Amino acid sequence: MKRQFLMGNEAVALGALHAGAARGAGYPGTPSSEILDDFNKLGGKAEWAPNEKVAAEVALGVSFAGVRAFTTMKHVGLNVAADVLFTAAYSGVDGALVFVVADDPGLASSQNEQDTRRYAVAAGVPLLEPSDSQEAYDFTRLAFEVSERWKIPVILKLTTRVCHSGTIITPRKPDANLPTAHFERNIPYHVMVPGHARPAHRRLRQKLAEIAEWNEKEGPNLKINGSQKLGILVSGVAYQHAREAAPDASFFKIGMSYPLPMQQMLDFVASVDRAVVVEENDPYMADAVRAAGGKIESAPEMYRFGELDVTRIKRILAGDASPEAVPPRGKPPQLCAGCPHTVTFEILKKHNCIVAGDIGCYTLAALQPLATMDTQICMGASLGVGLGLRHVLPRVEAKRVVSVIGDSTFVHSGLTGLAEMAYNVPPTGHVLLILDNATTAMTGQQEHPGTGRLLDHSPTNRLDYEEVVRAMNIPNVGIFDPIRQPGEFEKALVAALEKDELTVLIVQRPCILAVARKGVKPA
């Protein structure tokens, strides 16, 4: 087939299409967000789920029907979907199930630098790690094949530089003659009660042993025989940097990072005068090689922070642990001119609120000049954290606490927090603001259950925040447009802060970027 210039995310979408994936489900998260949109544009069936756990469950259900499914998320999304992953590893799948998970070393747009390879070990599922768009395509297809062959979920681990780098690929012929969806009753494999899960765990370990053997013999790992003086054990995009940093070295590039092809790795390490492991994030391969008795050098601790690049790998190979030059800081991101969030946070600032915040564009309110967000940890945490503060702070401080959450984040994991608010009511009550800008703005204006439109922007049911809040028996509910009714909103906020009751204020105004893009008229 003809060569194409594709971003890593586009290559994953094309790989999934050519693998005949029946459905892709996910929740947006940089750097994974474009995959499902691309899959949809290519003609695949794609959906945004309310959150990653639901997305993974939908994909598991598809795979239980005997066909191929995938789910996409950023690294922290796997924390939400981890409950599915760990037990789907036991149950196994009928068709195929691929978790596409995008890590963000260097935190270009994330709250932490967690390393998804640790999840593969913890859950006991194979993990593939592409280094460019060609491998993103090839490994996506391989992930479906491995998943289907061993009836096990497989993780395809991407990183920011794989997702958002463009490189050339040559696609292959799409898979043909795939099975059609059908239901086969198999209660001992699909119902994970203890009596079924005990043998399932043994089956899982047996599968992993077989996959490890396959990976040793014919896994997607690449050996390059260069100089015997230096051998580099490497995975992911770090391979591309390392080839440039040390063009004469020997390389062993690991494509399947769990289960590792350990015998081959040990042979490689023993075959060179000096072996060095180069990997982003955690010293995962370094620890594994050493635990298996291999002698290998690894990067000083300072290199586990941030991305690797050619310059840093040259330093690692030179054993240079001297402080690195601190790059000058650019202009930080900020809320767009005219963003409705700005007005909301100016009012919160004016009233000296303690703001338990959440994840989205509005997290930028934590930065100067607003500096009006006091906590932000993970999706949905504004509710629980705000309530925790309300429960224990002295009354005068407790009464200043406000939880603030965006619309997409509210649907993702604010609903259960709202149930907590309605159930365990702090002595001073509580105030929640739902900032409804009718889109998942931060990640590129994706739809969600509160917008009333599907991934492809066609109409569907719309979750009604006001009805949901009322159904939870919150006594005070109000809806305001922060641009048209800043005064009314402020009055309602002040009234809510004064009462010892529960209040939810829905602050509703479409994102100006979404309005510009889709021609959505402000209400």
Residue numbers at the binding site for another protein (CB under 8 A): 5, 30-31, 33, 108-109, 132, 160-161, 164-168, 237, 240-241, 243-244, 309-311, 325, 327-336, 361, 364, 442-444
> In the bound complex, what is the minimum distance in angstroms from residue 331's beta carbon to another protein?
5
Pair of tokens at residue 171: 């696609």
Instruction: Find the shortest distance in angstroms from Cβ 50 to another protein.
Output: 21
CB of 459 to another protein, least distance (A): 25
Residues paired with 326 in a beta bridge = none
Q: How far is the CB of 105 from another protein (least distance, A)?
A: 12
Q: In the complex with another protein, which residue's Cβ is closer, 31 or 386?
A: 31
Q: How far apart are CA 360 and CA 363, in angstroms?
A: 6
Cα–Cα distance, 432 to 387 (Å, whole number): 10
Are 22 and 181 in contact by the 8 Å Cβ rule? The answer is yes
Q: How far is the CB of 303 from another protein (least distance, A)?
A: 15
Residue type, 485: Q
Closer to another protein by CB, 291 or 325: give it: 325
**Of residues 53 and 243, the one with the C-beta less far from another protein:** 243
Residue (247 or 293) nearer to another protein, CB: 247
Question: Are 292 and 262 in contact, with CB atoms under 8 Å apart?
Answer: yes
Pairing state between β 249-254 and 222-224: antiparallel
Which is nearest to 72 in space by CA: 111, 109, 102?
102
Least gap, CB of 130 to another protein (angstroms): 13
CA 411 to chain centre: 16
96 φ/ψ angles, rounded to the nearest 5 degrees: -145, 150
- Please, which residue, 309 or 420, has the CB nearer to another protein? 309
CB closer to another protein, 59 vs 246: 246
Angle, vertex CA 176, rays to CA 174 and CA 179, nearest 5: 130
Nearer to another protein, 71 or 133 (CB): 133
- Of residues 331 and 521, the one with the C-beta less far from another protein: 331
Shortest Cβ 490–another protein spacing (Å): 25
CB of 29 to another protein, least distance (A): 9
Give the other-Cβ count within 10 Å of 247's Cβ. 9
Compute the least distance from the CB of residue 272 to another protein, in Å.
20
CA distance 507 to 362: 13
In the complex with another protein, the residue whose CB is nearer, 298 or 443, is 443
Between residues 1 and 191, which has the closer beta carbon with respect to another protein? 1
Tell me the closest approach of the beta carbon of residue 147 to another protein, in angstroms.
28
Helix (H, G, I), strand (E, B) or coil at 249: strand
In the complex, what is the shortest distance from the CB of residue 160 to another protein, in angstroms, rounded to a whole number?
Answer: 7
> Over the range 300-336, which residues count as b (16 or more CB within 10 Å of their CB) and which as e?
eeebbeebbbeebbebbbeeeeeeeeeeeeeeeeebb
- The residues with which 23 forms a beta bridge, in sequence order, are 69
| Nearest residue (CB) to another protein, 169 versus 389 | 169
Task: Tell the smallest beta-carbon distance from residue 268 to another protein (Å).
Answer: 20
Please state, as a whole number, how many other Cβ atoms lie within 10 Å of the Cβ of residue 471.
11
Rounded distance, CA 312 to CA 245, Å? 9
Phi/psi-derived region of residue 151, left when phi > 0, alpha when psi is between -120 and 50, beta in every other case:
left
Distance CA 105, CA 379 (A): 19
Collapsing DSSP to helix, strand or coil, 247 comes out as coil
**How far lies 136's CA from each of 10, 71, 170, 214, in Å?**
9, 15, 11, 20
SS3 298: strand
Nearer of residues 168 and 321 to another protein, judged by Cβ = 168
Q: Taking the CB of residue 407, how many other CB atoms lie within 10 A of it?
A: 27
